[in-house]
């Protein structure tokens, strides 16, 4: 818990842009300055393994599920399932999930039956599939299955739950999207609808080839203007994704977001198909949606790593050839793509989510996993708390940049990362300090390292054994914090030199430098921080340091880890994460090492969930510093745009 006065101090700088109409009852304040959430996860409506209701219960509830399995009590939750269609009745889990009494059923089995208070009488839109393969378009699924179950669980647990989407993007891989306008599930009298989310999915998802959509009582289509996906690849498809982002910007500039996810996985952008993203595509999206397309999400699927790689579901063809400290190379590399975006002064931030689908070789109730973690189990996206937390606060918090991403509970919900110049006014993540050249920038950072995480393993971290460091996997630890700086040289116009940058699949992609000025400016060992040991076993770490403002703008971002620099097969001499594939070169020799690990030459090696619990990081979004004489940065003008739009909306 955290004193409420501090909550106000920490979040005042990024005041909520709550819209008119968002004055519905919010959730009970848990007392922490930030609240943990997840915006990217799946159920049997698409390719997840558990039903909608079961997933919501495990994620939102406390304690242990009735049939076994820990609940994860997440503070807020966005259901972010794929677009397209699905054959499974997602009021049921897959048989393989191992949930007693719950077996796979398809829509064809259950049409007309009232199940969980919901009756699906027909599969709407263009007929899709036959027999047991008959599929429901996701727009119907969003409206008639996921949304009513969200309303029920939101009120049951008194938590913010949002209906989102993992948009299958024309020309690219996937992107997290939500449109919260109309969604008021905490208001029992008027819980609202998810129709705007459904309409976006119908109009713009690459896998949604329905050409009818929602109709009125006279069967007239209600959602005109769909651009057919047929034959749409490469740049033409990318333009549809830009159109979609502009559509959100024009209709829902403060109540939606567009956050590309696992952005390296599909390799570089392909002019001949739908693959990954290059930096120019992120720039296009940010240009088209200055208050909605404000960042990227690092990969989930944290427990898929084998001796052949695979953590994050990244194969050797991903840009970078795999994950680095469980981030994609765009965000993990100092001077990489993210630093390229920040080097323009863009409002472009980093987020994390679980991408929960399945436990792999295990059942949904098991503590071990060879694939994914549950939302709230391993990854946490923190946004600022408020006294009356509602879905608008999730979007506002993400857009502001005042958010941070944590794996394995390496730090808790009360991080402080702020700085000030001579005026003494603290600015936090996403904000800009205006300072004269030569002025001292004082930076303060504080974090609580929790007493425990959700790891089922208590043996010592095998990755640290080669350096003779003993650290139980279920006890979070911070070795050091990096403060990474980069110069800001201004926005590059579309078509100008440097706007588009050649990209490459595999490890070659890790060699691309987008911002040569980016560097680890300071590395603060935990041993040099002020430490207060709390009665509950957690520890509060704090430090203060300083920078000097120059004649040009720059930014300061932060990351921390449990892994010391120069740990063999994990970090380089500067502390940068190596390709995670290398972790599997290290044996797991403790007698408690689980039996499901990959064995190489008869010896279990650091793979799957053991790898994820061993190699832990957090990432904090940047603070910007600009000379008074320099024009406002894009991050400032876009934040001002959001405030103007909010003020305009509140006057309506």
Partner 1 sequence: MSFFAARRALALGAFVALALANGTRAEEAAEEPTSEDCAKVLAKAREMTNSLSPKSLSRHFANGLLTDAQTEADNGEFDGCVEYAEKAVDEVANRKHWLAPGEIFRVSTVNGYVELSGDDP
Interface ranges with partner 1 (CB under 8 A): 46-47, 68, 82, 84-88, 94-96, 98-103, 129, 133, 135, 168, 173-174, 206-207, 262, 265-268, 270-276, 301, 306-307, 313, 315-318, 355, 357-358, 360-366, 370, 502-505, 508, 595-596, 598-599, 602
Minimum distance, C-beta of residue 313 to partner 1, in the bound complex (Å): 6
Minimum distance, C-beta of residue 168 to partner 1, in the bound complex (Å): 4
Minimum distance, C-beta of residue 261 to partner 1, in the bound complex (Å): 10
Token pair of 650 as six digits: 């509140």
**Contact criterion met (CB below 8 Å) for 534 and 1:** no
State which residue, 278 or 477, has the beta carbon closest to partner 1. 278
Closest by CA to 454, choosing from 367, 540, 562, 382, is: 367
**Looking at the DSSP assignment, which residues form a beta bridge with residue 261?**
297
Rounded Cα distance between 469 and 617, Å, is 17
Strands 76-79 and 34-38: parallel
Look-up: residue for tokens 């989930």? 300
Minimum distance, C-beta of residue 98 to partner 1, in the bound complex (Å): 4
- Phi and psi at 384, nearest 5°, equal -60, 140
Closest by CA to 608, choosing from 366, 369, 293, is: 369
Element (H, E) at 350: strand 349-352
State which residue, 126 or 271, has the beta carbon closest to partner 1. 271
State which residue, 90 or 180, has the beta carbon closest to partner 1. 90
State which residue, 87 or 646, has the beta carbon closest to partner 1. 87
Minimum distance, C-beta of residue 6 to partner 1, in the bound complex (Å): 39
Minimum distance, C-beta of residue 226 to partner 1, in the bound complex (Å): 18
State which residue, 377 or 482, has the beta carbon closest to partner 1. 377
Rounded Cα distance between 136 and 123, Å, is 6
State which residue, 38 or 102, has the beta carbon closest to partner 1. 102
Minimum distance, C-beta of residue 101 to partner 1, in the bound complex (Å): 7
Q: Cβ of 525: how many Cβ atoms within 10 Å?
A: 13
Look-up: residue for tokens 């969200």? 150
State which residue, 374 or 389, has the beta carbon closest to partner 1. 374
Q: DSSP per residue over 149-190, as a string?
A: HHHHHHHHHT-EEEEEEEEE-TTSSEEEEEE-TTB-TT-SS-
Minimum distance, C-beta of residue 508 to partner 1, in the bound complex (Å): 6
Minimum distance, C-beta of residue 242 to partner 1, in the bound complex (Å): 19
Three-class SS of 232-275: CCHHHHHHHHHHHHHHHHHHCCCCEEEEEECCCCCCCCCCCCCC
Burial class (CB in 10 A: 0-12, 13-18, 19+), 494: exposed
């Amino acid at each position: 818990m955290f004193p409420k006065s501090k909550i106000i101090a920490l979040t005042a700088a990024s005041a909520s842009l709550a819209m008119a109409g968002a004055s519905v009852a919010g959730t009970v304040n848990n007392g922490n300055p930030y609240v943990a959430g997840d915006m990217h996860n799946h159920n049997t409506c698409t390719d997840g393994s558990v039903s909608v209701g079961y997933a919501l219960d495990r994620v939102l509830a406390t304690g242990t599920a009735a049939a076994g399995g820990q609940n994860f009590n997440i503070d807020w939750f966005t259901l972010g399932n794929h677009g397209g269609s699905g054959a499974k009745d997602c009021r049921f889990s897959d048989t393989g999930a191992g949930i007693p009494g719950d077996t796979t059923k398809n829509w064809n089995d259950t049409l007309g039956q009232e199940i969980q208070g919901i009756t699906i009488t027909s599969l709407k839109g263009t007929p899709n599939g036959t027999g047991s393969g008959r599929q429901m378009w996701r727009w119907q699924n969003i409206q008639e299955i996921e949304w009513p179950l969200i309303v029920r669980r939101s009120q049951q647990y008194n938590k913010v739950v949002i209906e989102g989407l993992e948009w299958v993007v024309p020309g690219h891989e996937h992107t997290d999207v939500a449109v919260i306008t109309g969604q008021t599930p905490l208001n029992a009298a008027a819980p609202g609808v998810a129709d705007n989310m459904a309409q976006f999915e119908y109009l713009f998802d690459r896998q949604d080839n329905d050409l009818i959509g929602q109709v009125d009582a006279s069967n007239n289509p209600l959602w005109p203007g769909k651009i057919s996906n047929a034959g749409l690849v490469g740049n033409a498809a990318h333009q549809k994704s830009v159109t979609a982002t502009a559509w959100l910007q024009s209709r829902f500039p403060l109540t939606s977001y567009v956050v590309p996810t696992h952005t390296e996985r599909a390799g570089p952008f392909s002019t001949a198909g739908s693959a990954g993203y290059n930096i120019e595509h992120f720039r296009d999206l940010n240009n088209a949606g200055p208050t909605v397309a404000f960042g990227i999400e690092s990969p989930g699927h944290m427990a898929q790593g084998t001796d052949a790689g695979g953590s994050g579901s990244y194969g050797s063809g991903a840009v970078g050839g795999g994950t680095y400290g469980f981030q994609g190379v765009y965000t993990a590399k100092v001077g990489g793509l993210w630093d390229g975006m920040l080097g323009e002064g863009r409002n472009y931030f980093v987020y994390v989510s679980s991408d929960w689908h399945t436990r792999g070789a295990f059942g949904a109730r098991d503590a071990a996993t060879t694939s994914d973690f549950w939302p709230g189990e391993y990854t946490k996206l923190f946004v600022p708390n408020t006294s009356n937390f509602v879905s608008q606060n999730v979007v506002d918090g993400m857009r502001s940049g005042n958010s941070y991403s944590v794996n394995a509970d390496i730090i808790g919900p009360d991080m402080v990362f702020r700085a000030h110049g001579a005026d003494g006014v603290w600015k936090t993540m996403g904000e800009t300090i205006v300072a004269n050249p030569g002025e001292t920038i004082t930076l303060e950072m504080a974090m609580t390292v929790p007493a425990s995480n959700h790891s089922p393993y208590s043996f010592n971290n095998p990755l640290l054994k080669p350096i003779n460091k003993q650290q139980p996997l279920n006890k979070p630890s911070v070795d050091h914090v990096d403060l990474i700086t980069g110069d800001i040289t201004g926005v590059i116009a579309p078509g100008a030199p440097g706007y588009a940058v050649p990209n490459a699949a595999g490890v070659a992609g890790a060699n691309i430098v987008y911002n040569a000025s980016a560097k680890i400016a300071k590395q603060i060992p935990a041993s040099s921080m002020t430490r207060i040991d709390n009665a509950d076993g957690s520890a509060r770490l704090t430090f203060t340091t300083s920078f000097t403002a120059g004649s040009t703008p720059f930014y300061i971002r932060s990351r921390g880890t449990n892994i010391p620099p120069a740990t063999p097969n994990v970090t380089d001499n500067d502390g940068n994460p190596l390709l995670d594939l290398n972790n599997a070169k290290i044996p797991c020799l403790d007698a408690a090492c689980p039996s499901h690990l990959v064995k190489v030459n008869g010896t279990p090696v650091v793979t799957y969930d053991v790898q994820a619990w061993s190699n832990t990081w957090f990432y904090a979004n940047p603070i910007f510093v600009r000379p008074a004489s320099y024009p406002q940065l894009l991050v400032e003008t876009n934040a001002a745009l959001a405030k103007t739009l909010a003020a305009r909306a509140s006057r309506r």
